[in-house]
Amino acid sequence: MSDTSPKTARDEWGTRFGFLMAMIGGMVGAGNIWRFPYVMGDNGGGAFVLAFLTLLFLLAVPGLMAEVALGRYTNKGIIGAFRDVVGRGGMVGFGVVVLLVNIALMSYYSPLIGWTLYYAVHSLLFTFTAPGFEAQAFMDSFFANPALMIALHTVVMGSIAAILALGIRRGVERIVVYAVPALVISLVIMAIRGLTLPGASEGIAFTFGVQWEYLIASETWIAALGQALFSTGLGWGIALTVGSYLREYDDVPLGGGVFTAIGESSIAILATLAIFPVVFAVGVEPDAGTGLAFVSLVQVFPEIPLGGLVAILFFAGFFLATFTSGLLITEVSVTTVSEETRLSRTQTVLAVCGGIWLLGLPSAYSTEVLDFLDFVFGNWGLPLATLAIIGVIGWVLGPERLRVLTVNRNAGIHIGTWWNPVIKYVIPAVMLFIMAYFAWENFREPEMIAGMLVLVLFPLIGYAIMSLVEGRRDTTDTAGVTGGDD
């Protein structure tokens, strides 16, 4: 959407491939690279894969279909989509909840993208294979440099703003159609390098060895549930926003549901094949999170032939994975704010990215703040957003209405009535269970108390804001389409 075009002229994806890569780019993030391989190996390997695959098809695939379909049905961002369903009034505030969670998520995700950028730059400088390099000391000095962290956070948000200002087709699509395939290619090359190293088979045995007893352990299913829901970005507003830019004859369930959920998980599998054979070949202790990406792997690169080039492939891929997610997470707010205000797209991008940059300063300054926010929003904020989106589809719009009107319209695969109870009952129940489980696990911890505040305050703030805003507006088109609980 150019700045001079009227707001009624809505942008759309230029190609089907662009839409698909935007979905994958938005969903594949740090969790696929630095969390999935260890979680898989630590929870029974093949047993975890079976549990994860089951939950992907049971929850993530149908849920993503619903979210994309809501975006396509309304052709609007989060708040506009909620208003179209619930009608004007305070209940639109649940859309504000999703928006607030997205802004909070991006405020601490941007500094994390900055970490991957820093390591990607140093991989290009062959720092990690230089004589006398110490991975742990390098990471510690990096994390102890708040000025550098803030500078990287600024570069990341500035880059995202520059791309988003160009619009959906000229900005986001042009980046993702190259970035996502580049990520896949870099991981494939790294996997080939890793699998051809002596001792790589131990990494394969760790991650793909089947420990059947894990299949009946609740921890395996909780871990698989967390991965299936959080890794696919279900209910964060990304799929809704990306779906709102679909073209007239585009399909929803095959591309927005099956391909997105299974495709983004395939990249996690590929990351496992790229990382763990290398880690085990060198005899380094497997780990997750910063310990895996910034210490274990960095220790490995000097030990293997062509290690400097493998480091470039890994960190370039890692940066692309996080950066494209950041792009799409920010687009959720840009689309919505642009529709709800009189600001042009460029003005909206500047306002949103500026706001996120400001809110992200504490996370850039201190990794403790980042970890705290990640825990609070990962365990309660994001499930709340998912509950809001799937709840409004399941209990207000009605899954059967959405299925016959949008999901099966121009669809590449037919979705039957089995889909309705999954959207109406199963996913909301699972989200409530997850929030309760994490609250019980962290009972009375500061993170749990902050999580409860998010659960209570965000809906109240959203309701208050929209009651105030909607009350001032003309109410001639307030109908909504409530009463669709089949």
Partner 1 sequence: MALSAEVLGMLAFTLLAFWGVSLWALTRTLRQESRKVDILEHQDRMDTYSPEALAELREWIEDHPNDPLADRARAQYNECVDVVTQTDRHFYDWSDADINRLERL
Interface residues toward partner 1, by CB under 8 A:
15-17, 20, 45-46, 49, 53, 199, 201-202, 204-205, 208-210, 249, 251, 254-255, 258-259, 262-263, 265-266, 269-270, 400-401, 403-405, 408-412, 414, 479, 481, 483-484
CB of 236 to partner 1, least distance (A): 21
Alpha helix segments (H runs only) across 379-424: 382-392, 399-402, 419-421
Residues 6+ apart with CB under 8 A from 205: none
Pick between residue 149 and residue 270 the one whose CB is nearest to partner 1.
270
- Per DSSP, which regions of 257-362 are E strands? none
CB of 268 to partner 1, least distance (A): 8
Pick between residue 355 and residue 484 the one whose CB is nearest to partner 1.
484
Q: At what angle do helices 382-392 and 78-86 cross, to 10 degrees?
A: 40
Pick between residue 149 and residue 224 the one whose CB is nearest to partner 1.
224
Pick between residue 255 and residue 451 the one whose CB is nearest to partner 1.
255
Angle CA 52–180–290, to nearest 5 = 60
**128 class by beta-carbon count within 10 Å (0-12 exposed, 13-18 middle, 19+ buried):** buried
CB of 42 to partner 1, least distance (A): 16
Concatenating the DSSP letter of every residue in 196-239 gives: TSTTHHHHHHHHH-B-GGGGG-HHHHHHHHHHHHHHTTTTSSHH
CB of 422 to partner 1, least distance (A): 17
Pick between residue 229 and residue 396 the one whose CB is nearest to partner 1.
396
Q: Are 326 and 109 in contact (CB under 8 A)?
A: yes
Pick between residue 46 and residue 302 the one whose CB is nearest to partner 1.
46
CB of 445 to partner 1, least distance (A): 35
CB of 291 to partner 1, least distance (A): 24
Rounded CA-CA distance 338/351 in Å is 10
Structure token pair of residue 166: 């160009």
Q: Are 320 and 179 in contact (CB under 8 A)?
A: yes
